Amino acid sequence: MNLAQGVAQECPAVITPSNPAAVCQPDAVTLAANSGPGLTYQWQKDGVDVPNATGVTFTAAASGNYTVRVTGPSCTAKTSTPVTVTITPQPAQPTFLVNPNIVQCAGTPIGFSIVNPLPNTNYVWDFGDGTTSTGDFVQHAYNSVGNGTVTFTAQVYAVTQGGCTSPARSTTISVAQKPAFSPPKDSSNFIVCVPDSQKVIKQTASLLNPTPVPNNIVSYVVDFGDGAGPRAFTAGDFTATKPIRNTVPYDTTGAFKISIRAIGSNGCDSVYTIDYQISRKPKAGFTTNKERVDPAACVPVKVTVDTDSSSGGNLSYKWKVLNKNGQEVGNSDMEYLDNTTDTTQNPIFSFKNKGRFTIKLFVSNTCGTDSTEQSVLIALPEVQMNADSTACGAPTTIRFNADMVQFDANLGTISGYKWTISGTSGATAVNGTTLQDMTPEIRFPNVGVYTVTVVATNECGASDEVEQQMATATITVNEIPGAPTFTTASTTICNETSALLRPTGPGTTYNFYSEPAGGTPLKTGRDYTTDSLNSATTFYVASVTPQGCESATRTPFTVNVTPGITDNSISVEAGNQEICAGSSPGTLAGTAAKEGTNTPAYVWQKSTTNETTGFTTIAGATAQDYAPGPLAATTWFRRIARSNFSCPSDTSNVAVVNVSPAIEGNTINVGTGRLFTICEGSTAPEITGTAIAGVSYLWESSNNATDGFTAAPGVNNQQNYSPGVLTQTTFYRRRVISSACDQASAVVVEIRVTPKLTNNVIEGNQEICATGSAPAPLTGTVPTGGTLNRTYRWQSSLNGNAEDFQTAAGNSTGQNYSPAVLTQTTFFRRLVSSEGCDSLSSNVVKITVSAPVNDNTITAAQTSVCQNTTTSFTGSVATGGSGTLSYQWQQSTTNGTDGFQNIAGATSQNYTPVATNLNTWYRRLVTSAGNTCLANASNVILISVQPSPVAPTVEATNVTSCAGESVTLRASGTGGVFEWFTSPEGGTPVFIGPEFQTGPLTASTSYYVQAKNTNQCVSVTRTQVQVTVSNAVADAGPDATIIEGQAVTLRGSGGATYLWTPATGLSSATVANPAASPIFTTTYTLQVTDANGCTDTDEVTVTVIGGLKIVNTFSPNGDGVNETWDLGNVSNFPDISIEIFNRWGQRVYTSKGYATPWDGTYNGKALPVDTYYYIIRLNQEENPLKGSVTIIK
């Protein structure tokens, strides 16, 4: 203190907040006072000292006005200026509901809702998968791929408008993963370009599934976008190697959306979609239409386009607009209208300036790109002239009509025309037209070339402004040539020949006609060769210039024709047309030929080749007729008539003289010579003669060799002759006759006849057994007849048929015969022959041979069998014996040679023995009926018997399983292999091994197991295992509806134990019939477990409706407020009934339903202010509600 001054200074007192003075709970604001030596502090809130708040800093945890009082040893106390601290309360931790509150498939929206949300408060959600959201009700779908269930932690906190946040609340969300499905593959990569050559589209998608296996996908539902709708496929139908295809082929271009739904074993699915694009090579095309934006203004002009003529499918479009210099235009020339652009399919162009522009279209798809362009003329008129003409001869006149010139006013009106003619002078408009008319008629008076142009004008300008040249036509007028000239005016030709017409001028090209005027040219050229002519003909010729102009007149030219030779023919006398060699045919006659009035000269020709070739001129034969003299060969004749005018000669017809050659080589034979001996009454052999062409024959016979020959009996006019049966010696000759020749053979043949053979008898019938010994000899008599030079030949046969006898074996040419050893019955006879006589056959003797039995063999299906099983024997079909064979099977348990006994009843070709446990040998005997030969024994076969294993032991003979699950069955024993069956006998094993895991079972069944040892023998019996399938069936009971705040008993059944989810609102989650009192509609899932541990699930939904809200007063006083007794949530009770009574018990109101609230009247009259009593029945199940309502006014 400064005593001199006598006044103490105040202590400094300043508060500085360390953080903003407005914070949210639980945060606080730290207040700091100024510091100084010896200073002390007292903090105050709202003017009141805060206990124990004496530090230099203070933490303010509540809202208020804070000051600090500072005291010091050298200063007086001072209180600071207040600092306001605002602590905003923390919002309450939110409570939220999850619906549905059960495990959902990934991708399914789940609802999250705040219970009783606060006003002016936002709620921030974190779903635990990296995504967030805000709001008091949100939906979120979790996406997770796999083969199980995953959990996420979802949390929410509240945020006030001031930015204060509440503690977060979280819950666990369980999500069933959807299956992992890889995008399918298609050979076309889902993009198909159809070639133009393929007129009809018939395309099928072929999808392969690259999803790795194994996976949890059990089925697929596929919609190919083909109009056939979704189709179901199993997992095996759709693999990486087994494709699926649409049943209805795509038949047009476009993008077909293919949707594939892969369904996992948990019922969740993944959906994949892709477009299958079918296109053709693009073809660009469009049409245009123009109109003025303002009909009174030349520009702008709106041009619309239509691209319907573009094709290919799935097209994208790109437009360009070029000016006349080929440059793209800017906005100063053109702009797009109506939000269209240069990639719009049908854009709208607005052209702002006059002139010609080019619109170019590019269309593209996956098959390529194509373009086209069109020219558009804006505002100015357009002229197109196609009037170039060429005329022959001046003057010529042309009318330039609409066929030659087209005018386009181009949205305007043409106001003028201007025609200009240049080049050759003198052309003028005629017949009342002018060069300012639309279609003038112009006369071109002189030969030459004219250029005609025209310009049209409309209100926007002239047609030549943009084109910079006018529409032009070239008119050419050519000269007409003079008529052609010839050296001579005619020529003469022979009949049926051609003439050459060749004018000498003017020019070098001519038109040749058959008439003096009109008609079509026969030819155009330098000359003309006519067709063959047979009469005089005149032709007409015109000159032609290179420009195609023809002379005004035609020059005639005549071709004269000389007549041909006629009546030139020759003939041979009827009796001389065929002669013998060396004879003469007489004179050949010829007609008198003519050549017009003249007679031609003659030349005769002949040929010995044929009627067409080989002709030579006959020296000196120049007369009208001709005598040939003697001829040695057939000869053809003709006559040549020669023209007197150097025209072609004429050849007559051909006449032939046939010359028969002299007969030569007429020889005959009988046998090999001229003499043949036969037996009396036998048929003589055929007499043969040489073949001679072109003749006839006649055979003659006689009793001597020199005379007395007459026609032989029978057929006697053939090349050879058969005499038939003869009884005496006869001589024969042959005559040969041609048309002009007749000759008898120089040689005569003799057929000599001798007596017949008789007395040819043999003996020796006998019976033998085929033991290898020869039978007794056969003896024969001495025959008579024939010649003394007789021969013998013994024959044998196995069947005795006459045609089957063959020369016997060994010495078979004696009077008697000794047969060799025989193995089968044989027949014998003897033939006796003598020169000229047929062989005489003896009687037949028979040696009967009993044949041995052959081909007796047996085979076994198997030679080693299991105990108590058997095999089968197959026996060959035995042969030999008498043909009637019998069988007898034998067996021996001793060895393969001894102890054989007949098996009773075993007398068939084949044999199946009874099952045995002993090694046994088998054979078969074959005997022949009526045969003394011994029985034949087959080969011997040993059947070895192998022991069978003992039936296996099973781990359990009765097994219990849940429906849809598999069980493992186990067997043990001494057998090597265990085979499992579904039947006690027969069938095919369903599994081989000691542990058999069945497939999923849906019904009780039995399995049977047998043992098999290394010898492949099986146990005699099979061991049975009974599998009982337990089917747990959950029943969660009927759905229920309750009023908010009420409870309902759930009626679960079907199990030994129970589990309800969610447990929210249940009295117990592990009893069959819990009481449910949810606060909002909830679906409960019941899982039951039966006594065997099998489970099943069912669902029940409890629907919660709002309770009836009853008010106890209303005021029907006509002020429009509370005029009726309104009940809240009444729509939740469609079966409600209401009765209202006054204080005396009189019912003043009743209603079934409450569509129209009570307005306080009875029988249409207002009731007085009073208290009334109601009975409300919500439905037949609920107890009635009773209370009072007061009418006030």
* DSSP secondary structure string for all residues of 137-196: EEEEE---BSSSEEEEEEEEEEEETT--BPPPEEEEEEEEPBPP-PPPEETTTTEEEE-T
- Give the pLDDT band of residue 823 (cuts 50, 70, 90): confident
DSSP category for residue 475:
E
Query: Residue 652 and residue 641: Cα distance in Å, rounded?
Result: 8
pLDDT, tens digit, 9 for 90 and up, residues 62-75: 889 999 999 999 99
* Residue 965: CB atoms within 10 Å: 15
Amino acid at 948: S
Instruction: Give pLDDT, residue 3.
Output: 36
Instruction: Give pLDDT, residue 2.
Output: 39
pLDDT, tens digit, 9 for 90 and up, residues 570-579: 999 887 888 8
Q: List the domains of the chain with CATH numbers.
A: 15-88 (2.60.40.10), 96-176 (2.60.40.10), 185-280 (2.60.40.10), 286-378 (2.60.40.10), 382-478 (2.60.40.10), 490-562 (2.60.40), 572-660 (2.60.40), 668-753 (2.60.40.10), 766-770+787-849 (2.60.40), 953-1030 (2.60.40.10), 1040-1105 (2.60.40.10), 1109-1191 (2.60.40)
Residues paired with residue 462 on neighbouring β-strands, in sequence order = 457
* Residue 840: CB atoms within 10 Å: 20
* Residue in the block written with tokens 């609230």: 1157
Judge contact between 188 and 113, C-beta under 8 A.
no
Give me the long-range contacts of 953-959 (CB less than 8 A, separation at least 24): 953/1023, 954/1009, 954/1023, 954/1025, 956/1025, 957/1023, 957/1024, 957/1025, 957/1026, 958/1025, 958/1026, 958/1028, 959/1025, 959/1026, 959/1027, 959/1028
Query: Residue 636 and residue 658: Cα distance in Å, rounded?
Result: 9
Residue 320 has pLDDT above 50, yes or no: yes
pLDDT, tens digit, 9 for 90 and up, residues 613-643: 999 999 999 999 999 999 889 999 999 999 8
Query: Residue 166 and residue 81: Cα distance in Å, rounded?
Result: 33
The dihedral over CA atoms of 611, 616, 621, 622, expressed in degrees to the nearest 10, equals 90
CA angle 481, 486, 491 (to 5 degrees): 145
Tell me the average pLDDT across 773-787.
87
The separation between the first and the last C-alpha atoms of the chain, rounded to the nearest angstrom, is 81
pLDDT, tens digit, 9 for 90 and up, residues 937-952: 899 999 998 888 889 9
Judged by average pLDDT, the poorest of 367-371, 782-786, 1056-1060 is 782-786
Share of the chain above pLDDT 90, in %: 64
Ramachandran area for residue 326 (φ above 0: left; ψ -120 to 50: alpha; else beta): left
Query: Residue 281 and residue 313: Cα distance in Å, rounded?
Result: 8
pLDDT, tens digit, 9 for 90 and up, residues 1137-1189: 999 999 888 999 999 999 999 999 999 999 998 989 999 999 888 889 999 99
Tell me the average pLDDT across 1024-1048.
90
Query: Residue 957 and residue 974: Cα distance in Å, rounded?
Result: 18
pTM of this structure? 0.40
Query: Residue 867 and residue 1011: Cα distance in Å, rounded?
Result: 14
Residue 299 has pLDDT above 70, yes or no: yes
Residue 744 has pLDDT above 80, yes or no: no
pLDDT, tens digit, 9 for 90 and up, residues 371-380: 999 999 999 9
Residue 934 has pLDDT above 80, yes or no: no
Residue 4 has pLDDT above 60, yes or no: no
Which of 652, 603, 650 minimizes the C-alpha distance to 495?
A: 650
Tell me the average pLDDT across 298-308.
96
Task: For 761, list phi and psi in degrees, rounded to 5.
Answer: -125, 140
Instruction: Give pLDDT, residue 469.
Output: 67
Report the chain's mean pLDDT, rounded to a whole number.
90
pLDDT, tens digit, 9 for 90 and up, residues 536-589: 999 999 999 998 999 999 999 999 988 888 899 999 988 788 888 888 888 999
Task: For 803, list phi and psi in degrees, rounded to 5.
Answer: -80, -10
Query: Residue 406 and residue 11: Cα distance in Å, rounded?
Result: 111
Residue 746 has pLDDT above 80, yes or no: no
Strand pairing class (742-744; 762-763): unpaired
